[in-house]
Structure 1
Amino acid sequence: MRCLIALVCSSLSLHAAAADVSDQVTAFLQQTMQEQRIPALQVAVIRHNKIVKLDAYGTANVENAVPATRDSIFSINSCTKAFTGVAIMQLVEAGKLGIDDPISRYLDDLPDAWRAITVKQVLTHVSGLPNIIDSKENPIGDGSDASAWATVKTLPLEFPAGERFKYNQTGYVIIGKIIDKLSGQPFARFIEERQFNVVGMPHTRFGDSSDVIPHSAGGYSYLRNDNGEWKPSDRLSAIYVAFPGYFRTAAGILSNAEDIARWLIALQSGKLLKNKSSLDVLWSTVVLNDGKTGGMNAMLNGSALGWPVTTRAEHPAAGPIGGMRSTFFVYPKDDMSVILLTNLQGANPENFADEVAAYYIPEMHASNGFGLPPHIKTLRAALLRRGFDRARLVFAELKIANASFTPSEEEINDWAYLLFTQKQPQQSIAVLTLNTELYPDSWNAFDSLGEILQKAGDKTKAIENYRRSLKLNPDNTNATAHLKEMGAA
């Protein structure tokens, strides 16, 4: 009886702890939604091949005040490429394709300059192919499928294949054509039959804003595309996105967090790919011609087969992102995944996926220094011991102890902004001040310090630093705008 009571108490304690973590994640996500003005968000967390959290928050349809539910459907945009990568590996396992094969082995109507480019180079965005969409993300040519394909083939390569990473949609049009040919059916049907139907994903389909989607979460944005540059505004707008048929290997899937969670569990348990080695290939970052790797940004610093990857010593991840609104991060070494879907373009949930994971693996909390570059981690540890007010002295001592200790201006700048978001304004100012001392010729260092000082309420010093930035770079429109805003232009 005593053993039974102990087991019951232990079970209750575990359930209480799990509920507490779930509540903490909810509180964090709701706060993030409020800060970023995200109308709706779905979350799913997988641990050890089980869904341990599944929730929805906010408003799926703003016009009609329709609440988000677990059944709400979101566009996952370029996260679709992850499904395309799996489709390619299914063809590899079937012996129909090799990822290092030239694309010309499978397609005839290619320019000579494209013929040696490999399937892998296309999937990992290192092909150098010209882009089939323009800076405003519209298809080139007259808008038709045939015109876009004909037009892109007349354009020169942007760089030799494998030389560098550059995100590109043309490659996925090519991959769609290859899947069509090798599977003997349209790629969308191949993915539906070999993935959606195998897993059991009743809410998942190919589509776009032109389709009538039950439980659709729609799409919204505070951004506007100004000649190819995304700029913020204060006005929430509904967005309309059309994905031509040929383009849907790149960005055509609509789904929800529960369906994607089921798909990730199936992917990692052998239901979609038979061999464990296939997953290793799927998530291995491409190596460039110079032996380095390339990716979208400092966090997603590698590129695999349809999957951006985060290569780092601790808790590496594969993390597709889509439309600046959706992501799912797989942490293979931790047997965990985090799915975050929103209906706000610009929410960029990849930036807080690690923080959700941290509620299950506490060492991953940003407040514990997780994700910082090695030199910044060293500087952080020293400043926590000695005090941020002694930043210049602490840096000098670290440099004496290790001559190779050289955190970059960008690394310091990024950390300072992170400190500010963590509600540590004085620490942020101290770090940015150090940056101006280490990089006195950088207009951006002074601009960043001015911006944080302004946000912290120190108008006088903000003006001083904006002016120093302008002296170094008279074309700094950010400083000019802020000085005008403060009546100091």
Structure 2
Amino acid sequence: MKLISFATIFLLLLGSINISTQAQQITASDSIDVFLKNKMQQRRIPALQIAVIRGGKIVKDTTFGKANLEYNINATNETVFSINSITKAFVGIAIMQLAEEGKLKITDLLSLHLDSLPDAWRKITIQQVLSHISGLPDIMDADEQVMGHNDEQEAMQKVKALPIEFQPGEKFSYNQTGYVLLGQLITKLSGMHFTKFIEERQFEVSGMKLTRFGDSYDVIPNYAGAYTLTKKMGSRFIRNKTPGHAYMQFPVFFRTAAGIQSTATDLANWIIALKGGKLLKKPASVDTLWTPARLNNGKIGGFNFLTNGYALGWPTVTREEHPAVGPVGGGRSALFVYLKDDLSIVLLTNLMQGNPDQLIDEVAGYYIPDMHEANGFGLPANLKKLRAELLKQGFDKSLAVVKKLKKKDSNFQLSEAELNGWGYQLISQKNLPAALSIFKLNVALYPGSANAFDSLAEADEITDHQAEALLNYKKSLALNPKNKNAAERIKAIEESILKKAPVKK
């Protein structure tokens, strides 16, 4: 028998480990593809790009769908997407680059560097502007258009005449005016126009070969376009089932707020450059960049439950498990950098209602399994406790389990909204029996809620319990006579029952 050296055995084992790791990555990648294609179909997203970064390298870089619906043009990895407000994250880095050069401090008053500001604006800091807690009036008008007919001087004259909305640091309120001012600040302190400064100091350094400033008016090679499911009819918006064109123009002076066009690959290389010390030299600068601002009361403020804080141009996903920074843009682009995990994900779409930020955590779950929704990730703490017990004792025992948990801990509470949201999440996971149990629990805990009964009735319909659905819709309508959905479903179910009833001879 031929003897094999220890070194040979080690190399064979190492090879098998590498093969196993590669196989896991391929499996994860294939599963992600299936997941994203399903979401594209559900949400009617024409095109989607994804890039995943681990270990300082791009481990997945894929594109699906159509860049152009009219001419049936496929999207590729070189297709360029609008990233809208992710642009603000570039501005945050630009400000921190100037800070590293000693040209400003983020705690400086804006008025220290910019002249001719209204008196009410003079106590606002650069940090407050970056994090949307400044109280500045918004440069966007009631129709969500930039004031001033694309003229910077006219726009600034109009917005400066408006009263301040609240005292600096009082609350979070998303605001575009501040980013126009930051553009002026970067231009003044860098000695070049802010677009040139960002191009030279970020695009070029990161190797972002296809990235540029632009909007719907510009002719951009390989552009994915912009689509929307909403259409304005008079003073209201209606939602269509098929995408139509969206048109957005960003004046040059406004392009610190939105205006960058990029690819998932380029953005991945930008993240790699930032984390690798090529854009900011000091690790402390990156920490500052990604630290959410504190309001006057010590709390943080953000868009929603997910992106619940805001740092220097970077929304934050502040939570105990897998915290992240997560710039989002226009309801169609998002990227998450997971702060405690070796993982970053970029998702770009060309549909304004694509909301890829809602998908990124689930994509992350293919690399970090405990992040899958089906494993309870993202649920509030008390729902996680309930879920753990129900997995042991059965979802059909939900009410009894809740009573035991409340007896054990008097502070144990479940909100109606949390239970309702979890119920629909279970439906999306095709766990219908569990979903039905949770909706039943919700009406047991909140018997005066029309919404809870309406949701239970929907679950009854999905599980083909028509008689129960009819009963629960009627209970919902009795609690809220204005519930149009309940009234419509009652009529539809009753008509269906009549059609199925045997005809008397």
Question: Which AA in structure 1 matches 2:368?
Answer: I
Aligned counterpart, 1:84: 91
Quote the residue 2:306 is aligned against. Answer: 299
Q: Which amino acid counterpart does residue 329 of structure 1 have in structure 2?
A: F
Q: CA deviation at 1:410?
A: 1.9
Q: Letter of the 2:39 partner, please give it.
A: T
1:101 alignment counterpart = 108
Distance in 2 (CA, whole Å) between partners of 1:318 and 1:26 is: 24
Q: From 384, 403, 407, give the equivalent of 1:396.
A: 403
Matches within 5 A, 1:374-385: 374-385=381-392
* Deviation of 1:314 (Å): 1.2
Cα offset for 1:467?
Answer: 4.0
Per the alignment, in what secondary structure is the counterpart of residue 447 of structure 2?
coil
237-246 or 434-443: which moved more?
434-443
Alignment of 1:365-380 (within 5 A): 365-380=372-387
Q: Distance in 2 between matches of 1:442 and 1:177?
A: 51
Equivalent residues of 1:454, 1:462 under 8 A apart: yes
RMSD of aligned residue pairs (Cα, Å): 2.1
Cα contact 1:136–1:228 (8 A) shared by 2: no
1:52 to 40, 49, 59: 59
SS in 2 for 1:182: helix
Does residue 22 (structure 1) correspond to residue 22 (structure 2)? The answer is no
Mean Cα displacement is larger for which, 35-44 or 271-280? 35-44
- Matched with 1:159 is 166
CA distance in 2, matches of 1:419, 1:408: 17
Q: Distance in 2 between matches of 1:228 and 1:206?
A: 32
| AA partner of residue 371 (structure 1) | G
Aligned residue identity for 1:123:
L
Q: Runs of 5+ in structure 2 lacking a partner?
A: 496-505
Indicate the larger mover: 201-210 or 159-168: 159-168
Question: How far, CA to CA, are the matches of 1:189 and 1:362 in structure 2?
Answer: 42
Structure 2 contact 63–76 (Cα < 8 Å) conserved: yes
Q: CA deviation at 1:18?
A: 2.1
C-alpha displacement of 1:287: 1.2
Mean CA deviation greater in 444-453 or 167-176 = 444-453
Q: 1:279 aligns with which of 283, 286, 311?
A: 286
Q: Would you say the 8 A contact 2:44–2:243 is kept in 1?
A: no
Q: How far 1:238 moved relative to its partner?
A: 1.5
Match in the other structure for 2:201: 194
Further displaced range: 82-91 or 147-156: 147-156
Q: What TM-score comes out, normalization by structure 1 length?
A: 0.94
Q: Is 1:265 matched up with 2:282? A: no
Partner of 2:441: 434
Number of aligned residues: 488
**Residues 32-431 of structure 1 correspond to what in structure 2 (within 5 A)?**
32-142=39-149, 144-224=151-231, 232-431=239-438
Helix, strand or coil for the counterpart of 2:106?
coil
Matched letter for residue 154 of structure 1: A
Letter of the structure 1 residue corresponding to residue 59 of structure 2: V
2:70 is paired with a residue of what secondary structure? coil
Are residues 178 and 225 of structure 1, via their aligned partners in 2, closer, same or farther at CA, if it must alter by over 3 Å?
Answer: farther
Structure 1 residue matching 2:256: 3-state secondary structure: helix
SS at match of 1:340: strand
Q: 1:454: Cα distance to partner?
A: 4.0
Q: SS where residue 56 of structure 1 aligns?
A: strand
User: What is the alpha-carbon distance in structure 2 between the residues aligned to residue 226 and residue 167 of structure 1?
Assistant: 26
| CA deviation profile, 1:359-396 (whole Å, cap 9, x unmatched) | 11111111111111101111111122222222211111
Tell me how far 1:299 sits from its aligned partner.
1.0
| Residue deviations 1:171-214 (CA, integer Å, cap 9, x gap) | 11111111111112111111001100111111000001111111
Residues 104/477 of structure 1: CA separation in 2 closer, same or farther (3 Å cut)? farther
TM-score, structure 2 as length reference: 0.91
Distance 1:464 1:46 in 2: 51
Matches of 1:329 and 1:227, distance apart in 2: 37
How far apart, CA to CA, are the structure 2 residues paired with 1:395 and 1:25?
35
Cα deviation code 1:89-116 (max 9, x no counterpart): 1111111111122211122222221211
